[in-house]
Amino acid sequence: MKVSDVSVLSICKQKREGYPCTFEYADFIIDGQRLYERISNLNPQDGHVACLGFGPDYFQQSQMEKMMLIGESDLPNDRRALFICPGCGDLECGAVSASIKLQNGSVVWQDFGFESTGYPPSSVTPIPDLGPFYFEERTYMETIRAAYGLGGFHWPKAKGTEND
């Protein structure tokens, strides 16, 4: 891998309007472009949000640990959900996932796909021409940690329902 192959991961606060309510979360930016824009061009009906920066403390901690390869993967074959359902975070609603590995001081995101843990059992629909992305390990970990609390510490709920 050459230095020119290393991408820059950053996050930004993004506002989601619509189901289940208006809320903020931490969105993934790779080399200055929202990753979600690339993905939504391939599947315009997808309404998922990045998995970081929103929800109660326990949820945010779990998501960060998963992304930093400290926590268990949440999908079969050691795959990790990057974009999840904004209403419940349940992987049965579907997710945009990737294989995330540590390799020679870099964190690598590759093999992107759409998948669900619902019935029938999970199968991955590959997302063509996306990645792999190589991130410098230390900077990557700092970026993931910086997402903590960016959108607050509540679960997005429609008006009139109880928040966690």
β-strand pairing of 6-7 with 133-136: parallel
Take residue 142 and report the two structure tokens written for it.
């700092």
The whole-model pTM stands at: 0.88
Take residue 158 and report the two structure tokens written for it.
């429609």
pLDDT per position as a tens digit, 104-128: 999 999 999 998 887 666 688 899 8
pLDDT per position as a tens digit, 26-85: 999 999 999 998 888 776 556 789 999 999 999 999 999 999 999 999 998 899 999 998
